[in-house]
């Protein structure tokens, strides 16, 4: 039967022509589809809605109306800095007669300044200094460590600073950065800046204004400030630096001759006066502004962040000193860096390797393909098919309503790799066939490539599809679209490339291009030393796998940015000088029984007690709750007079009434403005459950069931936690649970939940590990079954999987040895590498079986198989591995790690396929395959009809595994 490439249509045209016409026809359509592609990198949407932690977070946000926020600060800011109120006015606008804000940004819903919070507390009878202290680590920072010098120290201030820097470096290994002493902000009108605006902030004459100048003036005088990486005021390192500074001394200058005589009678002639008087942190500088995004801003983080930056510039905040943090900021930066990895106009055209890391990687692949295939036309066709496959596969994403994310961004590179691998194998088959019969070379090459390429693509697709078992949405999307792309790749390798080759054939190869004697020689060497080679590979495999003892995962999006990036520098400034970026919320629930047992003021004080214990945790920079906006109220003693008890109960009722009025949407007295750090109405901190719900949360003793009933009163405590540290979020969540439970255990009818971004991160880390194990295990099981069926032997199928497991075990084992965490981008490479390793394995197994069927010994079959597949495997691995290594300089670490890890996996897969697998084939694995083939031939011979001479016919080798005459000649 004629093959596809030998058939003609009714008009006499080759069917290859119609394949190429179809490829050309759909190209403009897919270009239009690609224009609609969107990005989505919201980590909080990774988990499915029915996940317990995701369900808790969704309930929490529905209850308290929590939205995305941006934390903004700038250097030199303080409570007297008018730019904070100007920024608020620019973002929100000004209220009209009806109290509706006009002229603000559509991306912003609310802005909270520390002045707002302190003002609100003072109105509730809290002293200004106490209010300022309550905002510490939330919207007020302590800034750098302030150094106050003695008189002796001021005389030699430069030398003192240099001595402090030198000693810190030599004794503590810390590099100190010196900053000038804090000075109160003074407005200087810059007439050279035409965009700067003078913004008048409306004042409320009914409110008693806080004297913020007095608060700032209370900061003790000092001579300079010092800071260092990952600075934390309450850390052990900070205490060591303080002690080091206080220990600085110098000898006194020798007195003159007259006074020297009198000094000789003194106790000591050479005292060592101290240079540093005091070291301290002071609350009040810098300050931060919390900006809540609207629905419009949440839909477009990049535009919202740009609007905030523009308003800050107009308010007089210099861009160089501006620092922003929060999920919208990181998300916008991540999307921008993903785009810049493809094309970054910030670099000039002559620095192309920086302008587009991915395109530069592709160009390197093109150059290597030319070098390996030794044919310009053949290389062009191979690369055209590879990139066209990627183009079609990526178009499937917007075509099906999907979005690109930080995981899918590596899919184009992966599909290019897979298609290039298959195409180079077909190109090599074509070379061997064209050396003998140019006319039928395409059909012959496709027949030889069909079986191994189909098996390799299908097994790779299975490995990728196994990722769809992950609970993480980006991983599932990657598994779906990459497996579809793998099938598209198979069609392009078996039909697209051969069609192009048939219409525009390359020149027949030279004799030297199909000379594989050195590969055959290498195969015979491996066969002679198969025991030593196999044992050596197994030892390396086992030693590397021991590293899994230190295996750990990482899902913080901020960790995908390099240390030099602006977003990292901003996060470090905020966390070192002001507060943690990531919030973690503890929700205290009071049921009907608890509400009867405790009046409202008692519930406030219970929440305050829990909050104070939470704030004592060393990783918590600060916390805030509704209790912060009311003064401390002690219950009257049991022997108090009836009048005092009645007064106390009346105060509790008034407080409750005032709070619950603000919770009622239709109340005329409800607050319309937000004045606290986190949407300052009581709605942000207290909520009455409008429905019953059963929730589940992990604890130290396993899952804990929490039932919230309709009418339960829920109080929210928000704590700020650093995200730039190596803090174990599991330990933090456990500590918060224990602290809260230690207080609530004595109060019937109370329970709690810990939720927010941190528990979500913890659950996502667990999901990454689950995904890695489940998807890889499923892929391994399915591919192992395929191998068992292919080799007709369960034992042989399992042994064959060893070379396929070796690249993953060695590379991931070494990563774990080096204590490097596995992120979501790194995780997907395991299943991908398994599919790539199987590709070379199947090609080698196919030709080994051909050699055995032709009567060769195991050693001869190994040599022949390596001679046939070795060049293609080497060319593919070199072209793909080196080009992927070119992704390493990418600024986005997700792309950089993927490139270098895939390069390592491809190199390991090549070594496993050309060293470990041939050694196994020359040993026990080969014997199992020989036995299986003999049984198969005997069964076929028993069923075959007898010839006239009475002899059984010889089993006929299919066309796909016949060797060309040129190969036989070269072997001889």
Note the pLDDT tens digit of each residue in 700-726.
677 788 889 999 999 999 999 888 877
Residue listed under structure tokens 């206080």: 246
Are residues 747 and 597 in contact, defined by beta-carbon separation less than 8 angstroms? Answer: yes
Q: 2 or 722: which carries more pLDDT confidence?
A: 722
Instruction: Report which secondary-structure segment, H or E, holds 737.
Output: helix 729-744
* pLDDT at site 251: 59
* pLDDT at site 957: 39
Are residues 118 and 210 in contact, defined by beta-carbon separation less than 8 angstroms? Answer: yes
Count CA atoms within 13 Å of residue 343 on its CB side. Answer: 0
Residue 91 has pLDDT above 90, yes or no: yes
Q: 644 or 880: which carries more pLDDT confidence?
A: 880
**Which residues neighbour 666 within 8 Å (Cβ) at sequence distance 6 or greater?**
none
* pLDDT at site 188: 60
pLDDT tens per residue, range 669-705: 444 343 333 334 567 788 888 889 988 877 767 778 8
* pLDDT at site 239: 92
**Token output for 765:** 């880390």
* pLDDT at site 267: 44
**Token output for 775:** 């998807």
Residue 668 has pLDDT above 50, yes or no: no
Give the residue-averaged pLDDT of 261-279.
64
pLDDT tens per residue, range 729-741: 778 888 999 999 9
Q: What are the DSSP calls for 906-937, one per residue? A: HHHHHHIIIIIHHHHHTTHHHHHHHHHHHHHH
What's the pLDDT band for 967 if we cut at 50, 70, 90? very low
Are residues 53 and 47 in contact, defined by beta-carbon separation less than 8 angstroms? Answer: yes
| Burial class, 535, CB count within 10 angstroms (exposed 0-12 / middle 13-18 / buried 19+) | exposed
The SS3 assignment for 703 reads: strand
Residue 892 has pLDDT above 70, yes or no: yes
| Burial class, 814, CB count within 10 angstroms (exposed 0-12 / middle 13-18 / buried 19+) | middle
% of the chain surpassing 70 pLDDT: 85
**Which residues neighbour 517 within 8 Å (Cβ) at sequence distance 6 or greater?**
867, 970
* Radius of gyration, alpha carbons of the chain: 36
What's the pLDDT band for 727 if we cut at 50, 70, 90? confident
Distance CA 393, CA 895 (A): 19
Give the residue-averaged pLDDT of 382-399.
90
* pLDDT at site 660: 62
Residue 948 has pLDDT above 60, yes or no: no
DSSP class of residue 220 equals P
Residue 846 has pLDDT above 50, yes or no: yes
Tally of CB atoms within 10 A around 238: 16
* pLDDT at site 380: 85
Q: What is the mean pLDDT of the chain?
A: 81
Of the ranges 74-83, 368-377, 405-414, the best mean pLDDT one: 74-83
% of the chain surpassing 90 pLDDT: 25
Are residues 729 and 587 in contact, defined by beta-carbon separation less than 8 angstroms? Answer: no
pLDDT tens per residue, range 580-601: 888 889 999 999 999 988 888 8
**Token output for 439:** 């006319």
Q: What are the DSSP calls for 271-329, one per residue? A: ---BSEEEEE--TTSSBEEEEEE-HHHHH-HHHHHHHHHHHHHHTT--GGGEEEESHHH
Residue 386 has pLDDT above 50, yes or no: yes
What's the pLDDT band for 515 if we cut at 50, 70, 90? low
Residue 6 has pLDDT above 50, yes or no: yes
**Which residues neighbour 942 within 8 Å (Cβ) at sequence distance 6 or greater?**
952
Can you give the pTM of this predicted structure?
0.78
Q: What are the DSSP calls for 176-207, one per residue? A: -EEEEPP--------TT-TT----PPP--TTS
Lowest-confidence pick of 537-541, 552-556, 959-963: 959-963
Alpha carbon distances (Å) from 917 to 260, 530, 784, 953: 89, 10, 15, 33
pLDDT tens per residue, range 99-119: 777 888 999 998 999 999 898
* pLDDT at site 462: 77
Lowest-confidence pick of 265-274, 435-444, 693-702, 726-735: 265-274
Residue 246 has pLDDT above 80, yes or no: yes
The SS3 assignment for 513 reads: helix
Give the residue-averaged pLDDT of 341-353.
71
């Amino acid at each position: 039967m004629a093959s596809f490439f030998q058939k003609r249509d009714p008009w006499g045209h080759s069917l290859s022509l119609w394949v190429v016409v179809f490829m050309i026809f759909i190209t403009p359509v897919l270009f239009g589809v690609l224009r609609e592609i969107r990005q989505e990198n919201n980590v909080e949407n990774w988990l499915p809605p029915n996940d317990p932690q995701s369900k808790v977070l969704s309930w929490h946000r529905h209850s308290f109306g929590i939205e995305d926020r941006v934390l903004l600060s700038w250097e030199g800011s303080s409570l007297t800095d008018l730019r904070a109120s100007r920024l608020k006015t620019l973002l929100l606008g000004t209220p009209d007669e009806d109290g509706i804000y006009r002229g603000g940004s559509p991306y912003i819903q609310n802005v909270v300044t520390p002045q707002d919070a302190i003002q609100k507390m003072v109105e509730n009878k809290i002293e200004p200094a106490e209010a300022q202290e309550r905002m510490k680590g939330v919207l007020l920072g302590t800034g750098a460590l302030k150094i106050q010098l003695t008189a002796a120290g001021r005389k030699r201030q430069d030398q003192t600073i240099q001595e402090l820097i030198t000693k810190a470096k030599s004794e503590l290994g810390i590099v100190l950065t010196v900053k000038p002493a804090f000075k109160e902000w003074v407005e200087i009108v810059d007439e050279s800046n035409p965009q700067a605006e003078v913004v008048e902030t409306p004042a409320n004459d009914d409110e008693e204004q806080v004297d913020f100048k007095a608060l700032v003036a209370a900061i003790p005088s000092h001579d300079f400030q010092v800071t260092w990486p990952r600075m934390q005021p309450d850390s052990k390192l900070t205490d060591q630096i303080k002690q080091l500074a206080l220990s600085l001394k110098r000898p006194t200058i020798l007195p003159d001759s007259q006074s020297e005589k009198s000094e000789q009678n003194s106790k000591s002639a050479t005292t060592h006066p101290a240079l540093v008087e005091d070291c301290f942190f002071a609350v009040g500088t810098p300050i931060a502004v919390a900006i809540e995004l609207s629905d419009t801003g949440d839909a477009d983080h990049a535009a919202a962040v740009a609007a905030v930056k523009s308003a800050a510039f107009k308010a007089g905040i210099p861009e160089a000193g501006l620092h922003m943090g929060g999920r919208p900021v990181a998300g916008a930066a991540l999307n921008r860096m993903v785009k810049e990895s493809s094309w970054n106009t910030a670099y000039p055209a002559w620095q192309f390797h920086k302008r587009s890391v991915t395109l530069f990687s592709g160009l390197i692949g093109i150059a290597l393909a030319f070098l390996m295939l030794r044919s310009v036309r053949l290389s062009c066709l191979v690369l055209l098919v590879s990139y066209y496959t990627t183009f079609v596969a990526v178009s499937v994403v917007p075509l099906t309503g999907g979005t690109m994310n930080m995981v899918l961004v590596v899919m184009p590179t992966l599909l290019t790799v897979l298609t290039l691998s298959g195409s180079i194998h077909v190109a090599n088959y074509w070379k061997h066939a064209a050396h003998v019969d140019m006319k039928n070379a395409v059909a012959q090459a496709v027949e030889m490539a069909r079986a191994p390429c189909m098996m390799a693509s299908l097994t790779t697709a299975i490995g990728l599809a196994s990722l769809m078992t992950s609970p993480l949405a980006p991983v599932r999307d990657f598994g779906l679209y990459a497996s579809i792309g793998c099938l598209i790749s198979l069609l392009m390798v078996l039909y697209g490339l051969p069609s192009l080759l048939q219409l525009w054939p390359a020149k027949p190869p030279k004799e030297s291009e199909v000379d594989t004697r050195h590969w055959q020689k290498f195969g015979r060497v491996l066969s002679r030393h198969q025991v030593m080679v196999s044992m050596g590979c197994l030892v390396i495999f086992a030693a590397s796998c021991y590293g899994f003892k230190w295996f750990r995962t990482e899902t913080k999006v901020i960790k995908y940015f390099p240390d030099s990036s602006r977003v990292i520098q901003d996060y470090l400034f905020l966390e070192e000088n002001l507060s943690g970026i990531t919030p973690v919320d503890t929700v205290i629930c009071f049921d009907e029984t608890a509400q009867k047992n405790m009046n409202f003021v008692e519930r406030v004080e219970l929440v305050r007690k829990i909050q104070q214990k939470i704030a004592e945790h060393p990783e918590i920079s600060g916390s805030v709750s509704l209790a912060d906006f009311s003064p401390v109220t002690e219950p009257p003693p049991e022997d108090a007079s009836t009048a005092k008890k009645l007064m106390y109960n009346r105060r509790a009722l008034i407080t409750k009434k005032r709070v619950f009025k603000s919770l009622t949407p239709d109340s005329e007295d409800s607050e319309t403005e937000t004045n606290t750090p986190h949407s300052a109405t009581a709605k942000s901190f207290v909520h009455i459950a409008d429905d019953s719900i059963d929730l589940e949360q992990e604890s130290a003793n396993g899952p804990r069931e929490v039932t919230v009933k309709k009418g339960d009163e829920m109080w929210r405590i928000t704590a700020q936690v650093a995200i730039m540290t190596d803090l174990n979020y599991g330990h933090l969540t456990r500590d918060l649970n224990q602290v809260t439970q230690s207080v609530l255990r004595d109060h019937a009818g109370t329970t709690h939940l810990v939720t927010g971004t941190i528990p979500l991160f913890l659950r996502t880390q667990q999901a990454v590990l689950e995904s890695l194990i489940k998807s890889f295990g499923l892929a391994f099981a399915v591919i192992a079954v395929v191998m068992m069926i292919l080799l007709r032997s369960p034992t042989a199928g399992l042994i064959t999987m060893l070379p396929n497991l070796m690249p993953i075990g060695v590379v991931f084992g070494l990563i774990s040895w080096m204590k490097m965490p596995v992120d979501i981008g790194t995780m997907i490479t395991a299943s991908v590498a398994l599919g790539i390793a199987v590709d070379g394995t199947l090609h080698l197994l196919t030709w080994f079986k051909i050699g055995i069927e032709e009567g060769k010994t195991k050693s001869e079959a190994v040599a022949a198989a390596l001679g046939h597949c070795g060049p293609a495997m080497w060319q593919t691995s070199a072209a793909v591995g080196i080009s992927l290594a070119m992704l390493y300089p990418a600024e986005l670490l997700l792309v950089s790690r993927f490139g270098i890890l895939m390069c390592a996996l491809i190199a390991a897969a090549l070594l496993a396929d050309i060293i470990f697998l041939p050694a196994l084939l020359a040993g026990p694995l080969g014997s199992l395959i020989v036995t299986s083939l003999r049984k198969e031939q005997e069964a076929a011979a028993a069923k075959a009809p007898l010839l006239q001479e009475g002899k059984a016919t010889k089993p006929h080798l299919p066309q796909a595994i016949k060797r060309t005459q040129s190969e036989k000649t070269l072997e001889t």
